[in-house]
Amino acid sequence: MTVATVPDPKAAAPAATMRMEYWKPSPRLEGLVSGYHLYAVAPSAGEVHSDVFQPAWFNLRVLLDPQTHWQVRCGSPEAIGVPDMSLFGPSSAACWSQSNVGTVIGAGITPLGWTRLSALPAADLANRVVPARDVFGTGVERLAHRLRTCSDPRAIPAIFDEWFLERMTPPQRDEEAIARLFAALLDPNLRTVRQLSEALGYVPRTLERLSLKAFGFPPKLLIRRARFLRSLHALIRGGPGRRALAIDAGYTDYSHFIREAHEFLGMKPTQFLEACGPMFTRSLALRQAVLGAPAQALTDSAKP
């Protein structure tokens, strides 16, 4: 795996031809798969395309051209080369991306979906990008072959649907508890682990076990991440001059929000939005229109 240093994300991204699409999964995968996506970029000769991914749940991604040179930096100073068939684990920080010409097709996997696909604790893959073969075996190679030889992009959702439906196990013992925790994380009134524990009726130890198994992080970090993403997207929607109104009531003040931004984004929110490439901005609106939320971690769908 290639290791290199990614240039400062504050640097302006080169102009590039871009294409993106989102699709809903089959209703049979509701609450298990958050959606499918395609990102294609064609930067000018000798340039790279720079962009960013928000903190998210699991994502399975396939490069249509295995030779595409794609690197990401997820919460660390170094970048890693992304395998041609990759699994992005749940993340608690922005993931900066750079690539040459290429197309990636992916699928978002919810915490509930993860427990149906693998017995591996989500915490083992938190803030990591690994070869998908290591987790799903040779089955992912057949999926990649079908995606790479597909002549009509409209067939992509059906290819993913079939693959996931074949591999999803029956409902697990903790499924209802995981679904309830997923929904509770989107409730802005639940601001502490104690409130979350009382609302769900779980002792803190059980809550911690569920969180690490299916979500990848402790309950406190999950609450903070959800609160931050709600505030960030409210800030984006509100525009300049409305920052105090945008942030979640759980923050003591705007400075508190800024401190959280440094942890989740590595910089101030305004710096982050200036550093984001045009694909990030366009994807928010398209994802909202097709999948119902501007971020995977804010998608309100966790039915068992």
State the residue for tokens 């290791």: 3
* Residue range 242-267: mean pLDDT, rounded: 82
The pLDDT assigned to 214 comes to 97
The pLDDT assigned to 301 comes to 60
Per-residue model confidence as pLDDT tens digits over 146-178: 999 999 999 999 999 999 999 999 998 899 999
CB 52 within 8 A of CB 88: no
Residue limits of CATH 1.10.10.60 in the chain: 175-297
User: Buried b / exposed e across 145-154, counting CB within 10 Å, b at 16+?
Assistant: ebbeeeeeee
Burial grade of 43 (CB within 10 A; 0-12, 13-18, 19 or more):
buried
CA gap 88, 105 in Å, rounded: 13
CA gap 140, 278 in Å, rounded: 31
Q: Which CATH number fits domain 175-297: 3.30.450.150, 1.10.10.60, 3.40.50.2000, 1.10.3720.10?
A: 1.10.10.60
**DSSP label at residue 39:** E
What is the percent of the chain with per-residue pLDDT over 90, rounded to a whole number?
Answer: 62
Per-residue model confidence as pLDDT tens digits over 185-243: 989 899 999 999 999 999 999 999 999 999 999 999 999 999 999 888 888 877 555 55
Per-residue model confidence as pLDDT tens digits over 86-142: 999 999 999 999 999 999 999 999 999 999 999 999 999 999 999 999 999 999 999
Angle at 85 between CA 84 and CA 87, to 5 degrees: 125
304 closest CA partner among 35, 32, 118: 32
Residue limits of CATH 2.60.120.10 in the chain: 3-167
Overall CATH class of domain 3-167: mainly beta
Question: Residue 210 has which token pair?
Answer: 């569920």
pTM for this model (two decimals): 0.89
* Residue range 250-262: mean pLDDT, rounded: 87
48 closest CA partner among 76, 16, 19, 96: 16
CA gap 297, 58 in Å, rounded: 10
